[in-house]
Amino acid sequence: MKFIIVESPTKAKTISKFLGNDYKIESSYGHVRDLPERQLGIDVENNFEPKYTILPKAKKRVAELKSEAKKSSEVILATDEDREGEAIAWHLVQALGLDKSKRIVFHEITANAIKEALKNPREIDIKLVNAQQARRILDRLVGYKLSPLLWKKIAKGLSAGRVQSVAVRLVVERAKEIDDFKPEEYHTISAILLKNETFEAQLTQIGKEKLGKFSIKTTEAAEKIVADLGNAKWQILKIEKKESRRQPLPPFITSTLQQTAWSWFGFGAKQTMLLAQQLYETGLITYMRTDSLNLSKDSVATAHEKIKKDFGENYLPATPRIYKTKSKTAQEAHEAIRPTAPEKDPEMLKGKLAPQQFKLYDLIWKRFIASQMSGAVFEATGVDVLAKNANDNWTFRATGNVLKFDGFLRVYPQKLSENSLPLLKENEDLELKELKPAQHFTEPPPYYNEASLIKALEEYGIGRPSTYAPTLATIQTRRYVIKDEDKRLKPTDIGILVNTLLVKHFPDIVDIKFTAKMEDSLDEIAEGKKEWQPVIKDFWEPFKKNLDDKSVEIKKEISIEKTSLKCPECGEEVIIRMGRFGKFYACSGFPKCKYTAPLQEQEDLGSCHKCNTGKIVKRRTKKGRTFWGCSNWPKCDYATWENPEKNKLKEDE
């Protein structure tokens, strides 16, 4: 009996379908060893020797795998072909005490690919493992050294890290950009013209002068132009027609799936991943944590057949579309996210899936099928209109965009501006119906939301498919960032304070390019051009020196604001302090008087049934879960998971 270990149980199940009874296949459930949680676990004095321990969660699994390995004639490690996958394989060798093992990799899960892989085993690539160790150790050094500095200088329980701190930085800086934004006024003038039907044209040129966005700055200037145009005669000057094509978007990867599920359905990153996991486990889609745009040949062939059958030959491009990942940091261990059986219409699954699962599957299916369809064809028309009187002349422009062939849009609709123009001829006279001047102001960039922040992180190469959703959760449980009622991400006082400290004193670490530079070094390790220890040493020594300097230089941040309130318990003055959850009211008589109160007025959700004097208020556990408790806490300990607003609604009915 031969024993194959992979990292995911679903992958194990799929592979076992292709192999006979000679093979036993089990999964490790991800990493089995890691640095210890409660200590640094790196001997910085001794060449950064890492101290690995079996993950507490993986203890049982490791024991089971170990006993299975003993019974087997051969152990084959078939984890993903990337940095983390190679490291998982290496850690398995250590954790299971394997003296002999084979390493195989395959790029797609098909009978042929697996059989080929089994014929060509190799050794574990220790250079790739070392690149992973360097990544792991660097992240640990940054996280476990910077976080305690924040505990000392700001408040306990805070955290900092290569990924989360940059995510917070982006949110903070975007908010500042919005605060600092000065709207700029500009004006446009459009003409409603008639030739059988009405159409609209925009002023683009006065005499020989082409207008820019800010050419008309004031209402007075706009009104003058409208007045000057008073007795002008209108005529078509020129008509240009050209065909434009729009190509489909590539199939989904984790980040684009999260973004699109957000904009189509309002699903959060976490929710999307949960639903995708369910679809993956049911065997409906390929793996959902991926940064690769690759598609198996089989899946493309099936898609083409399906497209030909359902829509006809014109909906197929001349040659199959191949998508290449732009991202330099992509690890390409998997395929893009696609339906495993593209021939199955989503409609066939409608009753069988939960509504949200169906929505996501339908989206993934459409995006994949569309990615293999022909482009959409538009006819774009540009019309120059000349307005002329004795004194001057003005050029207006109207544009039309008419869909001639829908192509992939038939399956995957996109927001497109389609507008048609009446049938027009050059030199034709037109009748002016109305001149419409309009005042506009430039607008600030939007706040980030989960989807756009993930997009930004991905573009900078920060974080991985498996961590986008958890990172978003972390910066919110730390309360560096909060989601407002429109799900926009805004920084909190504590988020701004932590970010300011990090940007001022550790600019290299929270530099947006830090991860990209790290990745370059990791590549050199993986290629064997560098050893991992010197790379870590080059980072550690200046970092350590800075850390020591800063722990002396930075004064503890104590921000206190006065208020005119008096303490209800002792009559002393009430002040505003900054704690790990942000600002709060505290008695200035501390530590004699321990009175505190939240800064924001809490929403009253009814009175407490236990003590009758308290109000029910929304609260959160340390882990971030919402519950409802009595405002008299700790005197009254009433608490519930039930949302009292829901009960109230029921009562109202």
Which residues are CB-contacts of 457 (< 8 A; sequence separation ≥ 6)? Answer: 163, 166, 167, 170, 463, 468, 471
Least distance to DNA, CB of residue 12, Å: 9
User: Nearest CA to 373 among 324, 456, 421, 315?
Assistant: 315
* Residue that has been written with the tokens 């498996």 in this structure: 466
Residue count, binding to DNA (CB under 7 A)? 88
Asked if 358 and 346 count as a contact pair (C-beta separation under 8 A), the reply is yes
Select from 147-155, 234-242, 397-405, 529-537 the region that touches DNA (CB under 7 A): 147-155
Binding map of DNA across residues 307-336, x = CB under 7 A, - = no contact? ------------------------x-----
Q: Which positions from 429 through 488 interact with DNA, judged by CB under 7 A?
A: 463-467, 470-471, 474, 478
Under rule CB under 7 A, residue 641 binds DNA: yes
Identify which of residues 57 and 648 has a Cβ nearer to DNA in the complex.
57
Residue closer to DNA, measured from CB, 415 or 555: 555
DSSP string, 427-464: T-EEEEEEEEEEEEE--PPPPP-HHHHHHHHHHTT-S-
Contacts with DNA in 396-415 (CB under 7 A)? Answer: none
CB 163 within 8 A of CB 430: no
Half-sphere exposure of 432 (CA within 13 A, CB side): 20
Q: How far apart are the C-alpha atoms of 608 and 629, rounded to whole Å?
A: 8
* Bridge partners of residue 566, in order along the sequence: 573
199 three-state secondary structure:
strand
Whether residue 287 lies in the annotated active site: yes
Please select the residue that binds DNA; options are 20, 97, 355, 591, rule is CB under 7 A. Answer: 591
Minimum CB separation of residue 376 from DNA in Å reads 35
Chain residues 564-583 in contact with DNA, contact rule CB under 7 A = 577-582
Beta bridge partners of 440: 186
Q: Strand, helix or coil at 629? A: strand
Measured from the CB atom, is 29 or 181 closer to DNA? 29
DSSP string, 523-569: HHHHTTSS-HHHHHHHHHHHHHHHHHHHHHHSPP---EEEEEEE-TT
x-marked contacts with DNA along 356-395 as a string, rule CB under 7 A: ----------------------------------------
Alpha helices in 201-292 (DSSP H): 219-228, 254-265, 269-281
- The distance of closest approach from Cβ of residue 157 to DNA in the complex, given in angstroms and rounded to an integer, is 5
Within 8 A by CB and 6+ apart from 120, the residues are 104
Using the rule CB under 7 A, give the single segment among 255-263, 502-510, 619-627, 643-651 that binds DNA: 619-627
550 sits near DNA (criterion: CB under 7 A): no
* Residues 237/384, Cβ–Cβ less than 8 Å: yes
Check residue 8 for interaction with DNA (CB under 7 A): yes
Rule CB under 7 A: choose which of 35, 171, 203, 300 binds DNA: 35
Span interacting with DNA, options 80-88, 212-220, 320-328, 352-360, rule CB under 7 A: 80-88
Q: How far is CA 324 from CA 2, 68, 250, 258, 374, in A?
A: 36, 40, 9, 19, 18
Applying CB under 7 A, among 37, 197, 520, 527 the residue interacting with DNA is: 37
Candidate residues 65, 76, 84, 480; the one interacting with DNA per rule CB under 7 A: 84
Contacts of 92 (CB under 8 A, 6+ apart): 5, 28, 32, 65, 77, 79, 98
* Least distance CB 161 / DNA (angstroms): 2
Percent helix, percent strand, percent coil in the chain, to nearest 5 = 40, 25, 40
**Partners of residue 50 on adjacent β-strands:** 42
**Relative orientation angle of helices 269-281 and 468-477, to the nearest 10 degrees:** 140
When the beta carbons of 399 and 467 are compared against DNA, the nearer one is 467
Q: What is the crossing angle of helices 355-371 and 297-311, to 10°?
A: 90
644 belongs to the binding site for DNA (CB under 7 A):
no
Least distance (Å) from DNA to the CB of residue 555?
10
Out of 69, 80, 455, 509, the only residue in the binding site for DNA (CB under 7 A) is: 80
Angle between helices 9-18 and 111-119 (to 10 degrees): 90
**Residue 77 vs 201, nearer CB to DNA:** 77
Residue 621 found at the interface with DNA (CB under 7 A)? yes
Which of 23, 287, 412, 480 is an active site residue?
287
157 interacts with DNA by CB under 7 A: yes
Q: Which of 183, 233, 627, 647 binds DNA (CB under 7 A)?
A: 627
Verify binding: residue 52, DNA, rule CB under 7 A. Answer: no
**Is residue 601 near DNA by the rule CB under 7 A?**
no
Residues 99-138 that bind DNA (CB under 7 A): 135-136
Q: According to the binding rule CB under 7 A, does residue 590 interact with DNA?
A: yes
Q: What's the CA gap between 179 and 490, in Å, rounded?
A: 12
Least separation in angstroms between CB 148 and DNA: 5
Span near DNA by CB under 7 A; candidates 76-84, 183-191, 436-444, 500-508: 76-84
Closest approach of Cβ 165 to DNA, in Å? 6
- Give 440 or 620: the residue with its C-beta nearer to DNA: 620
- Minimum distance from CB of 467 to DNA (Å)? 4
Stretch that binds DNA, among 116-124, 298-306, 444-452, 614-622 (CB under 7 A): 614-622
Which lies closer to DNA via its Cβ, residue 158 or residue 269?
A: 158
Greatest Cα-to-Cα distance within the chain, rounded to the nearest angstrom: 100
Residue 562 found at the interface with DNA (CB under 7 A): no
Task: Between 74 and 519, name the residue whose CB sits nearer to DNA.
Answer: 519
Does residue 50 belong to the site contacting DNA (CB under 7 A)?
Answer: no
Among residues 14, 72, 110, 147, the one that binds DNA under rule CB under 7 A:
147
8 Å CB contact between 372 and 303: yes
**Other beta carbons less than 10 A from residue 399's beta carbon:** 16
Residues 241-270 that bind DNA (CB under 7 A): none
Q: Which is nearer to DNA, 369 or 608 (CB)?
A: 608
Least distance to DNA, CB of residue 205, Å: 52
Which residues 6+ apart lie within 8 Å of 136 measured at CB? 34, 35, 50, 87
CA 87, 90, 94 angle in degrees (round to 5)? 135
The residues annotated with a catalytic role in the active site are 287
